[in-house]
Structure 1
Amino acid sequence: MLGCCPSVIIVARKTPRLLEELEKAHWRPSPKTDADEQCEFQYQPEGWGKAYRFIALRYLKKDETPKPQYQLFDTPKYIYRVFVTNMKGPIDLLVWVYNQRAGAENLIKEANNDAGLAAHPSEQWAANCVHFQLAMLAYNLNCWLLLFNREEKVQANDLKHTTLVTARLRFLFVAAKIWRHAGRVGISYSDQYPERGLFQRLMDRLRNIASSQGKFQPVLASALRL
Structure 2
Amino acid sequence: MLGKERICHFEEIEQVLARELGLVGGKLPDTTILYKDLDRFDSQEKIHGLKQVNDQVNARQLKDQKTVILDFDSSVETLYGQQEEEGAANGWSIPRRIVTVRTKEVIDEEQMELCPEYGWAYEWIVTNLLWEGEDIWRFYNHRCGMENYIKEAKNGFALDAISNDGFYPNAADALLKLIAYNVYQGFTKEVTPQEAKTFTVSRMRRIFWMIPAVLVSHARQWTLKLWNGFAKQDLWISMLHRSHQIE
TM-score, normalisation: structure 2: 0.47
Distance 1:196 1:159, change over 3 A: closer
Counterpart Cα distance in 2 of 1:179 and 1:134: 32
Residue of structure 1 in register with 2:32 after alignment: none
Count matched residues. Answer: 138
Deviation at 1:208, TM superposition (A): 2.4
Give the % identical residues: 26
2:214 corresponding residue in structure 1: 177
| Correspondence list, 1:14-53, <5 A | 40-41=85-86
Aligned match of 1:196? 233
Give the AA of the match of 1:188. K
Amino acid in the other structure paired with 2:86: F
Residue equivalent to 2:98: 55
Q: Give, in whole Å, the separation in 1 of the partners of 2:75 and 2:192.
A: 33
Q: 1:176 to 1:204 in 2, by over 3 A?
A: same
CA distance in 2, matches of 1:135, 1:126: 14
Determine whether 1:143 maps to 2:180: no
- Alignment-derived partner of residue 83 in structure 1: 127
Q: Which moved more, 1:119-128 or 1:174-183?
A: 174-183
- Greater relative CO (CA pairs within 8 A, separation 6+): 2
CA distance change for structure 1 residues 99 and 192 in 2, over 3 Å: closer, same or farther? farther
Residues 175 and 190 in structure 1, CA contact (< 8 A), matched pair in contact too: yes
Residues 26-77 of structure 1: CA deviation (Å, up to 9, x unaligned): xxx889xxxxxx96239xxxxxxxxxx72179xxxxxxxxxxxxxxxxxxxx
Give 1:131 shift: 0.4
Gap regions ≥5 residues in structure 2: 1-73, 77-82, 88-95, 101-123
The 3 A distance-change label for structure 1 pair 161 and 102 is farther
- 1:106-147 Cα deviation digits (max 9, x unpaired): 101211222111111111101101100111011111111111
Counterpart selection for 2:152 from 93, 100, 110: 110
In structure 2, the residue matched to 1:124 is 166
Root-mean-square deviation (Å): 3.6
**3-state SS, counterpart of residue 131 of structure 2:** coil
| Whole-Å separation in 2 of the counterparts to 1:97 and 1:162 | 28
Q: Partner amino acid for 1:180?
A: S
Kindly state the Cα deviation for residue 180 of structure 1 after the two structures are TM-superposed: 1.5
Shift of residue 150, structure 1, vs aligned partner: 4.3
Q: Which has the larger helix fraction?
A: 2
- Give 1:219's aligned residue: none
Deviation at 1:100, TM superposition (A): 0.7
Q: Return the structure number with greater strand share.
A: 1
136 and 56 in structure 1: CA distance in 2 versus 1, 3 angstrom threshold: same
- Consecutive unaligned residues of structure 1, counting only runs of 5 or more, are 1-28, 32-37, 43-52, 58-79, 210-215, 217-226
